[in-house]
Structure 1
């Protein structure tokens, strides 16, 4: 056998080489989507503060309630007023729910099941029980708020199809993580090695460093994300037991989450004062009562359930964010069920699901854990981004003509996708916040237009990345991102009259935090644009002059002589 034939017959490398190929290609084609999922998931960690900033009218009005006492002084009166309102307006509803908590931002709220199965709600005057009428268009602007990032993170704003796309992408991520660990046999040594200004080597070092730094987080977040939606991804057991359709899903959830809900007896029974049950429940669960749910009001089968209020300090000590609960039979006063804070109804399976959800959504540990998730999420997004960039750095230096005559065009497309998927997505995210301030308040379906603005800007960034040289596209989009982030606080002052200084003065750290983070992202994007711009000019200056033909060189030398 000839040497060339022997070389061709030589089997491919071992497990490491196979895993390297799998890691490279499985990571590349979905790295853009994974970057988007990670970045929006990172922002979704603070979806409530973002939503708070995006409803400035509500945020400013809420500061007026900050001096309200933390403990309830007139809860019994509030419960009485709430029950009277429900009896007058929704006496035939199968469930009444009251929130009589006297807390900053809370007054007296009532909820009920409408005939179509949807929730109805009303805010009541805690002094009179009269319904408070809100002019939503005039008081609080319609917006998706921070929930836009939540929706995109787990379903890409595409419903069940998007849910499945994210699931498949997450499975590929697990494949890339496992194959990446196998490929990098010196993974922990590489973590402590970084060689700046070395081109491909620097990108690989950065990719390895952020990957190893958050490796446990990446495995956890990917696995819990899949486990949390297990009944969506593996629906066969539920379908086999309960069938298909909305009614089957409702029956499944009722048996899973609401064991022992009584059936109506047909015998009338007046609704009693519920404050004694609230005090009794507080002694049983050790929490202040947050919500009161009355099943079958006006019937002898009435059951009242009292739900506790999770204090911030409590959430730092347990993985499950479920509050305490105590249920009583109104006719006899007997205690039907007690759930201590952190426990769940439904046994080990439901507890596992709660824990998985808490791990994935940072439902424990308070603000400190949320910031930890935020920085780990940014590191995860950096891992995806550096992996995509590393792919192109390697192929820019050498490629094997994998796509024949179209190879150059294919890699040019990949370069453009890299720019739009990383820098362009950042521009789209900050543009979403700009749209919240720029779209007029009276526009119909205003919240939907904010989301459309997000996708429209993202598409524009893709078009820009495809028509501009890649190096310039990176600098221009990062520069645009820096400018939009830097000017966001100024936009807020111009559009609402509210400044960061005023936010800090009134203790509104949620709004101030959004603008401070925007400034931090401006600095990061500006630094990246500056470094890339400087490197481009340095590379151009270091580029050698084209060689002259030999005859022309001799003629030039003779002229100089």
Structure 2
């Protein structure tokens, strides 16, 4: 009986040890990429405020537009019927051959701009704005040139495809799978993980890093699992295209057919017989009654053809969007020739049945279009905690092995661990420097420079590459100190740079109630203060280590040995 118990314990220990090895090495090799994906995804939660800050020329335009809207609301507004007639006449005169017309007659309250959209000869989305009081095209006034920038979308693009297209999407997908493996194996490895969550022992070297790693991991474990899984699920058809290929065939044409069937089910072909575009108001009135929402857009497919379809799309009220996982609006589709109702979609539903709805919900959980600003802040804080989990895990790996490695890589062990030290610095501190450097580039690069958005992106990657070269060239402790110092300087000086390069400043944002721009600069200042705090803690530990005069650890790199733990924690 005793032998059976010993064998059982040995088997459990072997399984846990295997999971520990998997957690350690799978977590390490993907931690740098996952940290980058998680940090940029966290920033992407507030992509709109970041874009708002990065396009200061729009601020005056937005203020003028708001003033004009207030003036227009005080004047008698044209009726919905009149606005639709103006928009239809403009499209018939200017773009009769377009395959699609999209008319936005008013805002949700029935006032506001009158806008029209269409696909031009190159298949590009084009638009025009009409005077909401006369229906005449508005002539663009001479304005201050608007800087060309990716804005906050840079962080979105990097988050899910690393600015590398389909290849980047696959790389991020593999990293997300590795994250799931690391999370599950981590739970198995740490038997007392929930108990350890309530334990933090500061100034204990390796023990402190492990406590911090456990705390942020357990605190946001459901969030991390959800984000990793939904990130894979929303791109599942890319990772597993066999179903699409079996039904639609392979190749670009088959993919286009699939996307058309997915996004525009039941769309007819052109008949080749002329039919004038009918009066749109009766369709809009019926559509609004069917979906229970005011009209946002009227889409006419194949205008001038007997097979034309007329779709009426509604405005989502913000409070209803906050309560729904799916952000789709209501839609009613009609036959242009007979007026027959072809399809009705309730607000929050999706086309394509249950599978499509499930994918939409997965996307909503991942990209948080619902819940308002409060939930966005929850995602932001959990995202920062997830980033901290990966950063502390990568640092803990080296803290545990500094001075007591077991020669895992033979004669190259010292060089491998030195490389890992440098990668830790560049992946964590260096990426943060590159992110704030991207904001600096937005203010420093001339506004009139051609392709300046590419220059901003190039500045991001150049700063990140320089941080890697610096981390490999300098001793690890010095690299941490210097990159944290640069991060603090760039973050704290960002409001000053903005004030010097634009006509705006942080105080003006606060006084005007521009919380999007103010939030960007206040977060930058907070990040700079955190970097200063990390520098102060590192200096204190360095001083304590020097006072204690610890025994010199075995060297991991040649010719210069790594510094003691007290000096190398970031």
State the TM-score, normalizing by the size of structure 1.
0.91
What is aligned with 1:296?
302
Q: Distance in 1 between matches of 2:304 and 2:226?
A: 48
- Contact conserved, 2:77 with 2:133, CA < 8 A, in 1? no
Q: Distance in 2 between matches of 1:259 and 1:217?
A: 34
Label 1:469 to 1:392 Cα distance change in 2 as closer, same or farther (>3 A): same
What is aligned with 2:104?
99
Deviation string, structure 1 residues 531-557 (Cα, Å, up to 9, x no partner): 1122222212221599xxxxxxxxxxx
Deviation at 1:371, TM superposition (A): 0.8
Q: Distance in 2 between matches of 1:276 and 1:490?
A: 56
- Contact conserved, 2:108 with 2:296, CA < 8 A, in 1? no
- Which residues of 2 match residues 277-288 of structure 1 at below 5 A? 277-288=283-294
- Contact conserved, 1:471 with 1:536, CA < 8 A, in 2? no
Q: Distance in 1 between matches of 2:372 and 2:461?
A: 32
State the TM-score, normalizing by the size of structure 2.
0.90
Label 1:352 to 1:150 Cα distance change in 2 as closer, same or farther (>3 A): same
Deviation string, structure 1 residues 48-104 (Cα, Å, up to 9, x no partner): 111111111113321233353699943443332322222122111111112233379
Deviation string, structure 1 residues 504-554 (Cα, Å, up to 9, x no partner): 3333221111112112211212211221122222212221599xxxxxxxx
Q: Distance in 2 between matches of 1:98 and 1:58?
A: 24
Q: Distance in 1 between matches of 2:37 and 2:136?
A: 44
- Contact conserved, 1:58 with 1:139, CA < 8 A, in 2? no
What is aligned with 2:58?
58
- Contact conserved, 2:145 with 2:447, CA < 8 A, in 1? no
Is 1:467 aligned to residue 473 of structure 2?
Answer: yes
What is aligned with 1:20?
20
How many residue pairs were aligned?
537
Unmatched 5+ stretches in structure 1: 1-9, 547-561
Deviation at 1:136, TM superposition (A): 10
Counterpart pick for 2:511 among 505, 508, 518? 505
Q: Distance in 1 between matches of 2:140 and 2:336?
A: 34
Q: Distance in 2 between matches of 1:206 and 1:514?
A: 27
Q: Which 10-residue stretch deviates more, 534-543 or 386-395?
A: 534-543
Deviation at 1:135, TM superposition (A): 8.5
- Contact conserved, 1:289 with 1:309, CA < 8 A, in 2? yes
- Contact conserved, 2:49 with 2:517, CA < 8 A, in 1? yes
What is aligned with 1:262?
268
Deviation at 1:409, TM superposition (A): 2.1
Deviation string, structure 1 residues 455-500 (Cα, Å, up to 9, x no partner): 0000111111111221121122112111111111111111111122
Q: Distance in 2 between matches of 1:337 and 1:232?
A: 28
Is 1:441 aligned to residue 447 of structure 2?
Answer: yes
What is aligned with 1:44?
44
Is 1:163 aligned to residue 162 of structure 2?
Answer: no
3-state SS of the aligned residue for 1:66? helix
Q: Distance in 2 between matches of 1:58 and 1:543?
A: 58
Q: Which 10-residue stretch deviates more, 296-305 or 142-151?
A: 296-305
- Contact conserved, 1:423 with 1:478, CA < 8 A, in 2? yes
Q: Distance in 1 between matches of 2:95 and 2:247?
A: 34
